[in-house]
Amino acid sequence: MRDRGWWFGAALSGAVVVMAGAFGAHALEGQLAPRLAAAFETGVRYQAWHTLAMLTVLVWRVSCPLAGQRLALGLWAAGMGLFSGSLYAMALTGLSGLGMITPLGGVLMISGWLALAVAVLRAQSLSGSA
């Protein structure tokens, strides 16, 4: 299977999204300060959207593999780990210093989107399509 590791990672991330969402909604309900609960929910939301984006790119790669797609996948994966992971850790530990990591994860996720845009533009220019 092509991109087996990426498929596995996206599936694992999807499972983590469901578990984190359920944990946040049930086990953490009323246990966290509103600011920390909101941070945890933000981590879940961004991980969910980027997991869906990864799955979309993996499906797209079956019919149209582009060089930059794997770069986007890697940047999104790293970004989710740093962005969502730091928000989860900050919410669970209360260590606000972990919030310094969050913007780096955001930059990596944005970079993944930009890498995907560049890959599409390069592919169109190589094929002569507009």
pLDDT at 129 over 80: no
Domain boundaries, the chain: 4-127
Decide which of 1 and 123 is more confident. 123
The percent of residues in the chain predicted with pLDDT above 70, rounded, is 97
**Distance between CA 130 and CA 116 in Å, rounded?**
17
**How much is the mean pLDDT over the chain?**
94
φ and ψ at residue 125, rounded to 5 degrees: -70, -30
DSSP letter at 118 equals H
